[in-house]
């Protein structure tokens, strides 16, 4: 070991104990202070009931300005698709407006407890995906906006999205509010559970097979089973079978399917392919033999998501010696939309050397298991993240759930969010603040309803602007 004096010193009692210098990156012994008491003390500065506060200020951007500003730097020919998708429903608007919500959240109370946050923890950003052995894992699965920030922001975005999804599904107002309430309650209870466990047990707690029982989400079992069956078939092989054709050299090539999938010029394809060398260097050396058994065959551009539409996103077709496909997604990583608003909430953001690395590092901090081919690269000076495409991914559409399932989904996602936050913040600290009763739950539910109302008004403003021709939209794509 270097840089640390680890000379053993017998204690005065001679019982074999040692006094060793504190090692950077490790906790002191004996433990100092009480994180639980520190968290509880924060209630005097930020009462839990204060989290119901939401009052748009006079400087708040209007919906059309916010969308237009967030389109800056995106490919102009694709922004009408993004606007069209956001204009479809209020829930879709929320999905594409993480920056606008960050502006609003920056003007709400925060405890100052920081953690790695998703930054876009709405209800549709949880789902299933395959681990290295092909088993299915359920967790947060979108990290484009991830940063170190206030834990409350993720919880409030999740709660507000559940209200909007419930309304879209036709649930009554009490049911929608209960979903937000239950999400906050599950977050609080899960954080309390994690705070009581040994650190290693807490890190790996709530195995996916225990999640339904832990969150009392039994009404979701049938839906989760159907999603799981669909996810198992959602593979690179199936995508390649539908999206490629035989090439003259015996390999395969992508087939145009505009506007979602299109072939790219040779120079652009070559730049993306060449970037995989840098990408390979971001993976552990144990992955290199696997990549070396695949050849790069083709590159295409593929439109993705709602908030991500307009960013540069490619799929790369790799084939092994048997012609079996592995498809990688090479997706542009833009600066997090939350960064301009963190300082208002009292959080400093250090400079980011590579946005793709930020996304990947944040994802690995929050997930229990991450894609084992997750990495980053640079294409023509722009940062990108790289991951498997169609890695047995599956998701629940919260806006299509039955009314008696939306609260179950809220509890499940609230528990998952707490687990993700506990990896980078001491669960004892957050649990100490959240407490035993439902005061925080009620406040977050009130906020969620108020913010859902505001989002519906923003959505109406965007739809009106589209109809008036003030902003271009291509619906239904």
Half-sphere exposure of 371 (CA within 13 A, CB side): 26
* The pLDDT of residue 30: 86
Which residues are paired to 246 by β-bridges? 252
Q: Encoding tokens for residue 289? A: 């033999």
Identify the pLDDT of residue 16. 54
pLDDT of residue 100: 98
Q: Which residue has the tokens 């730097």?
A: 73
pLDDT for the residue 19: 80
SS (H, E, C) 400-420: HCCCCCHHHHHHHHHHHHHHH
336 closest CA partner among 120, 106, 160, 75: 120
pLDDT tens string 301-319: 999 877 789 899 999 999 9
Q: Does 110 score more than 70 pLDDT? A: yes
pLDDT in tens, 349-399: 999 999 999 999 999 999 999 999 999 999 999 999 999 998 899 999 999
Q: Evaluate if residue 457 carries a pLDDT over 60.
A: yes
Give the tens place of pLDDT for each residue, 211-259.
999 999 999 999 999 999 999 999 999 999 999 999 998 899 999 999 8
Note every long-range contact of 315-318, with CB atoms under 8 Å and residues 24 or more positions apart, other chains counting.
315/239, 315/243, 315/254, 315/261, 315/389, 316/272, 316/273, 316/276, 317/240, 317/244, 317/252, 317/253, 317/254, 318/291, 318/294
pLDDT tens by residue, 132-161: 888 889 999 999 999 999 999 999 999 999
Q: Given pLDDT bands bounded at 50, 70 and 90, which one contains residue 9?
A: very low
269 HSE (CA, 13 A, CB side): 16
Give the rounded distance of the alpha carbon of 277 from its chain centre.
26
* CB crowding 112-133: b at 16 or more within 10 Å, else e: ebbbbbbbbbbbbbbbbbbbee
Whole-number pLDDT of residue 207: 78
Under a CB-based contact definition with an 8 Å cutoff, are residues 68 and 466 in contact? Answer: no
Looking at per-residue pLDDT, the higher value among 131 and 400 belongs to: 400
Q: Output the pTM of the full model.
A: 0.94
CA-derived radius of gyration, the chain: 24
Is the CB of residue 51 less than 8 Å from the CB of residue 440?
yes
Closest CA to 387 of 372, 366, 400: 372
Q: Report CA-CA distances (Å) from 99 to 20, 157, 243, 388, 416.
A: 47, 12, 33, 27, 23
- Per-residue pLDDT of 155-167, as tens digits, reads 999 999 999 999 9
Cα separation of 98 and 52, whole Å?
A: 19
With bands split at pLDDT 50, 70 and 90, how would you rate the model's confidence at 46? very high
Query: Which pLDDT value is given to residue 17?
Result: 66
Backbone phi, then psi, for 314, in 5-degree steps? -120, 155
Cβ-proximal residues to 333 (8 Å cutoff; 6+ apart), any chain: 144, 354, 355, 356, 358, 359, 376, 383, 384, 385
Q: Check residues 475 and 446 and name the one with the higher pLDDT.
A: 446
Percentage of the residues of the chain whose pLDDT score is greater than 90: 87
**Domains of the chain by residue range:** 37-219+396-467
pLDDT in tens, 425-438: 999 999 999 999 99
Alpha helices in 147-198 (DSSP H): 151-168, 173-196
Whether 12 has a pLDDT exceeding 80, the answer reads no
What's the CA gap between 435 and 453, in Å, rounded? 28
CA neighbours closer than 13 Å in the CB half-sphere of residue 55? 4
Tell me: the pLDDT tens digits for 397-414?
999 999 999 999 999 999
């Amino acid at each position: 070991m270097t840089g640390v004096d680890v000379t053993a010193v017998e204690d005065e009692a001679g019982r074999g104990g040692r006094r060793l210098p504190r090692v950077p990156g490790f906790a002191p012994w004996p433990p100092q202070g009480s994180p639980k008491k520190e968290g509880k003390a924060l209630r005097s500065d930020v009462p839990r009931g204060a989290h119901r506060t939401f009052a748009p200020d006079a400087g708040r951007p209007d919906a059309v300005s916010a969308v237009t500003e967030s389109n800056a730097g995106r490919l102009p020919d694709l922004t009408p698709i993004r606007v069209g998708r956001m204009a479809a429903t209020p829930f879709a608007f929320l999905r594409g407006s993480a920056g606008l919500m960050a502006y609003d959240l920056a003007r709400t109370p925060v405890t100052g407890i920081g953690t790695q946050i998703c930054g876009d923890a709405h209800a549709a950003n949880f789902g299933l995906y395959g681990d290295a052995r092909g088993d299915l894992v359920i967790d947060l699965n979108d990290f484009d906006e991830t940063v170190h920030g206030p834990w409350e922001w993720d919880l409030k975005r999740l709660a507000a999205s559940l209200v909007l999804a419930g309304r879209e599904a036709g649930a009554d107002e009490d049911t929608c509010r209960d979903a937000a309430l239950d999400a906050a309650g599950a977050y609080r209870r899960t954080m309390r559970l994690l705070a009581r466990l040994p650190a290693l047990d807490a890190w790996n707690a709530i195995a996916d097979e225990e999640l339904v029982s832990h969150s009392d989400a039994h009404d979701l079992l049938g839906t989760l089973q159907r999603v799981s069956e669909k996810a198992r078939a959602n593979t690179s092989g199936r995508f390649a079978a539908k999206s490629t054709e035989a090439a003259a050299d015996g390999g395969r090539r992508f087939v145009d399917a505009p506007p979602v999938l299109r072939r790219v010029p040779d120079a652009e394809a070559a730049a993306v392919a060449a970037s995989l060398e840098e990408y390979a260097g971001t993976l552990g050396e144990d992955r290199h033999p696997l990549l070396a058994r695949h050849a790069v065959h083709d590159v295409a551009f593929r439109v993705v998501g709602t908030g991500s539409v307009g960013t540069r996103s490619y799929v790369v077709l790799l084939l092994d010696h048997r012609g079996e496909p592995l498809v990688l997604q090479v997706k542009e990583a833009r600066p997090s939309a939350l960064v301009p608003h963190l300082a208002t909430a009292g959080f400093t953001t250090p400079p980011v050397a590579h946005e793709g690395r930020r996304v990947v590092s944040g994802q690995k901090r929050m997930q229990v298991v991450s894609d084992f081919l997750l990495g980053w690269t640079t294409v023509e000076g722009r940062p990108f993240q790289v991951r498997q495409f169609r890695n047995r991914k599956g998701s629940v559409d919260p806006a299509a759930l039955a009314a008696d399932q939306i609260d179950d989904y809220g509890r499940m996602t609230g528990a998952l969010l707490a687990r993700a936050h506990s990896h980078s913040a001491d669960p004892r600290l957050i649990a100490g603040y959240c407490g035993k009763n439902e005061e925080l739950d009620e406040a977050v539910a009130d906020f969620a309803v108020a913010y859902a109302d505001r989002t519906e008004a923003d959505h109406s403003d965007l739809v009106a602007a589209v109809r008036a021709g003030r902003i271009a939209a291509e619906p239904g794509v």
